[in-house]
Amino acid sequence: MKAFTVREKGAEPALVEVEKPLPTKGCTLVRVHACGLNFADLLMVRGTYQETPEPPFTLGMEVAGVVAAEDPAGGGPGVGTRVAVYGGNGGLSEYGLFPTERLVSLPDSVDFADAAALPIAYGTSHVALDHKARLQPGETLLVLGAAGGVGLTAVEIGKLMGARVIACARGADKLAVARAAGADHLIDAETDDIRAAVKALGGADVVYDPVGGAQFEAAFRATNPEGRILVIGFASGDIPEVKPNHMLVKNIDLLGFYWGGYMKFRPAVVTDSLAQLFRWLEEGRIRPHISHRLPLDQAAEGLDLLRRRASTGKVIIEP
């Protein structure tokens, strides 16, 4: 089968022929129909992601497809069942072997591409806003990087949870995408003074930050007393310095958040969240924004879209 594989540390991934895997105890073989790309895939290529496997390995963290061979231990879905799974890697291939306990059945009404776009981006935002920050109806949510893969879902879920949402992104086109997802107010990170703009809107009760750098610092200074700042990531490449004395004076909570970590120490948080998200998807209350759908032989181009920040929402690869 074909797989988009990192063959050695520091090498660019390539589409290669590999042996099709066989089911093993605790794992199910899935014929991949769609795989969502993530910024973490770029970090894995560089070997800097916190959960980078030893090469050779196949990229692709979140998958939707059909069961091709059952778990030999039994108890999993049968052949032909439509499923979604967060596998961590292995999704950018024609077939993938994934832990049976992580598989979620998909109804016929859910598109494979939508299902592959959901677990990480929507899961990150839902668990972060609901479980971690405990966002309340009527509060003001500031979303940085609001047109990106996770930022756009934070806008959408924040509105579903009853918040007033301020979306911050670069340029009119990306802000239009955030507006369509439900943002109440827009801030252009290229031209606006983020701190002044947020404070003029009454400040932020919760900040969702996948960007870091100067945008974090501006948002920090515009956070209301008893506000909560979610540290999601550092897409800017700049990890900001935090001033604990300012946190103390304003009683601000700084909340580190890594969605994948819950798979190890509290998986029910993730599985309960995904169950809620797939209900919302079936009901039409959320709809993943997919800017690009590409075949497997264009996986490198898909990663380059993320690298250049040329996509909005998700990039989906369809083997």
Residue 135, H or E segment: none
Q: CB-based contacts of 65: which residues, under 8 Å, 6+ apart?
A: 30, 31, 32, 33, 34, 82, 83, 96, 112
Q: Which pLDDT does position 264 carry in this prediction?
A: 84
- Which tokens belong to 44? 């894995």
2-118+288-318: which CATH architecture? Alpha-Beta Complex (3.90)
Which three-class secondary structure state does DSSP give residue 31?
strand
pLDDT digits (tens, 9 = 90+) for 259-309: 988 988 888 898 889 889 988 998 999 988 899 999 999 999 999 999 998
Query: Which one, of 80, 100, 159, 93, lies nearest residue 126 by Cα?
Result: 159
- Which tokens belong to 61? 């963290």
Fold for the domain defined by 121-260: Rossmann fold (3.40.50)
3-state helix, strand, coil in the chain (%, to 5): 35, 30, 40
Strands 27-36 and 62-69 turn out to be: antiparallel
Task: Break the chain into its structural domains and give their ranges.
Answer: 2-118+288-318, 121-260
The predicted model scores a pTM of 0.82
Phi-psi category of residue 90: left, alpha or beta, with phi > 0 → left and psi -120 to 50 → alpha? left
DSSP secondary structure letters along 144-174: ESTTSTTHHHHHHHHHHTT-EEEEEESSHHH
* pLDDT one digit per residue (tens) for the chain, 319 residues: 999 999 998 789 999 999 999 999 999 999 999 999 998 899 999 998 888 999 999 999 999 999 999 999 998 999 999 999 999 999 999 999 999 988 988 888 999 999 999 999 899 999 999 999 999 999 999 999 999 878 999 999 999 999 999 999 999 999 999 999 999 999 999 999 999 999 999 999 999 999 999 999 999 999 999 999 999 999 888 999 888 998 999 999 999 999 988 988 888 898 889 889 988 998 999 988 899 999 999 999 999 999 998 887 789 999 9
Q: Which pLDDT does position 251 carry in this prediction?
A: 97
Given this chain, do its domains 2-118+288-318 and 121-260 carry the same CATH topology?
Answer: no
